[in-house]
Amino acid sequence: MNDRLIAGALAWMLLAQGVPAGAQQAATPDTAPTQQAIPDAPKPQFSPGVTITPGKGTTATSNGDLAPAPADGEKAPGTSLPSGPAIQQEAHPDDGPPPELPTPGTGAEVFTLRRRVNFVEIPFTVKDSKNKLVPGIQWREVRIYENGLRQQPAIFTVDPFPLSVALVIDQSLPFDTMSKVNIALGALQGAFAPYDEIAVFTYNNGPKLQTDFTAAQSARLGAVLERSKSTGREAYPIIDGPLAQTTVINGQQFDPNTAAQRNHQGMQVNAPREVHTLNDAILAAGASLAKAKKGRRRIIYVISDGKDYGSTAKYKDVVKYLQANKIAVYATLVGDPTIPGLGFLDRIHLPFQMRDNILPLYTAATGGQTDPEFRVNGIETSFARISEEVRTQYTIGYYTHEPFIDGKYRQIEVKVLRPNLTVISKSGYYPSAEDSAPTPPATPASNDVGPQTTPLGQPAQQPAGLQQRPQ
């Protein structure tokens, strides 16, 4: 009985552990159960001739086989993808063929050689929302329009051009403003490079040429700038006190000798108007720049408060002359117009009255910029800032489809395909007779004349089959 109870309890325990009861019954106390043998894992297979060194691995070939590990001192092949060609900006069918991209340092020379009938050269500046210059603009990001029609660029370069600068200094400024300009003029030469050339004009009641174009770092220019300093213009005194009025009977002065102005009928005192011949000075500077050599950037740099009154030349005529001769106007604005809020008064300009500031109109029409500065340090910094902006311009050229012989105004618009950027360029141009002149052909060398050279200084090649005329 006890044996049956023990056997039943043992069976229940084996069932709970998952062991069949029959297997347990087959085991006897004298014989221990044998453990089943586990088979070995498959051995790795290697290609013939491949040896494995501890600490070194193998690399896979293109067909999946294992290749031997590199020997000591040999560079192991990398695991990165092979480097393909440089990623270019996505081309668009409307872009057309790429323009000519001169090698760095030859952009100005290439534009000098382009003197065909309908070639147009447009310099422009790109700034961000913080008024900082934007580098790295590619030609595919630029769109240029003439009279609303998109033009195909022919040349695009970022190389700087040598500058021909006509400096215009206003000597009709008030005394305190003129003293600030005089101090800042000492820093002007440092803003230009040795290969730049500068002419100096001053104006008060009329423009005056102080010196023709000379090297920017020459001692002559320093002496001329020192000579161009002036005391400025004294403000007209305010007429007040007992002599400002007189006795009036029936609307007439009783004693004209006691009036503020002798023999003046009435109580109003009319102070003489100031004369600021800014238009005449810019026109004189433009006429001098029109003679500058090809391949140089033509710049009129004005230091003034922007007032104009008493000029013989009209604004629209001066702007037309500048646009026809590829001249841009840049300005450092000084004096009262630099005070915030006063510039609004010039927007409500009254007819037959003096303009408080006409310089923004010139800079907007010619692709230049105006930099208002009130303090001496700001005026000195303005010289270097404007010089940097002129020297870092992009330059694009294209062949217009409009005939040059009509002489009509062409409206220009330059766009960049990036958000929140400002493009500064001239609003348009007038074609001139100089633009309509074709490139003169290279003449062959003769025995009595030295070898002909191209504008780049290289000897011109004589066309094949050309026979020299007998002497």
At residue 436, does pLDDT exceed 90? Answer: no
At residue 456, does pLDDT exceed 60? Answer: no
Confidence of residue 80 (pLDDT cuts 50, 70, 90): very low
Could you tell me the sign of the dihedral formed by the alpha carbons of 51, 54, 59, 64, in that order? positive
- Assess contact for 14 and 21: CB atoms under 8 A: yes
Lowest mean pLDDT across 365-369, 401-405, 411-415: 401-405
pLDDT > 90 in the chain, percent: 37
Strand partners, 423: 126
CA distances from 149 to 143, 162, 324, 412, 423 (A): 10, 31, 21, 10, 18
pTM of the complete model: 0.65
Please compute the mean of the pLDDT values over residues 70-80 and round it to a whole number.
Answer: 48
Please compute the mean of the pLDDT values over residues 196-222 and round it to a whole number.
Answer: 94
pLDDT tens figures, 370-384: 998 888 999 999 999
Q: Which CATH code, of 3.40.50, 2.60.40, 3.40.47, 2.40.50, is assigned to 94-160+392-440?
A: 2.60.40
pLDDT tens figures, 147-163: 999 999 988 988 888 99
Interacting residues of 426 by C-beta distance below 8 A, sequence separation 6+: 122, 323, 328, 365, 366, 367, 412
- Equal fold, 94-160+392-440 vs 163-235+273-390: no
Residue ranges covered by each domain of the chain: 94-160+392-440, 163-235+273-390
What pLDDT, on the 0 to 100 scale, is given for residue 227? 93
pLDDT tens figures, 410-428: 999 999 999 999 999 999 9
- Assess contact for 326 and 296: CB atoms under 8 A: no
CA distances from 20 to 5, 15, 36 (A): 18, 6, 16
What pLDDT, on the 0 to 100 scale, is given for residue 435? 57
Pairing of strands 197-203, 163-170: parallel
What pLDDT, on the 0 to 100 scale, is given for residue 351? 53
How confident is the prediction for the chain on average, in pLDDT? 74
Confidence of residue 233 (pLDDT cuts 50, 70, 90): confident
* Lookup: tokens for 140: 């595919």
At residue 212, does pLDDT exceed 80? Answer: yes
Please compute the mean of the pLDDT values over residues 254-281 and round it to a whole number.
Answer: 66
pLDDT > 70 in the chain, percent: 55
The CATH number given to 163-235+273-390 is 3.40.50.410
pLDDT tens figures, 321-355: 999 999 999 999 998 777 765 554 444 444 545 55
Angle between helices 315-324 and 359-366 (to 10 degrees): 30
Angle between helices 315-324 and 278-289 (to 10 degrees): 20
Looking at per-residue confidence, does 225 or 19 come out higher?
225
Confidence of residue 461 (pLDDT cuts 50, 70, 90): very low
Lowest mean pLDDT across 1-10, 126-135, 174-183: 1-10
CA distances from 157 to 92, 100, 381 (A): 20, 9, 27
Integer-rounded Cα radius of gyration of the chain = 42
What pLDDT, on the 0 to 100 scale, is given for residue 318? 96
Confidence of residue 196 (pLDDT cuts 50, 70, 90): very high
- Assess contact for 354 and 308: CB atoms under 8 A: yes
Place of tokens 């043998």: 37
Looking at per-residue confidence, does 459 or 225 come out higher?
225
> Which of 183, 176, 278 is closest to 235 using CA atoms?
176
Place of tokens 């001098």: 288
At residue 2, does pLDDT exceed 70? Answer: no
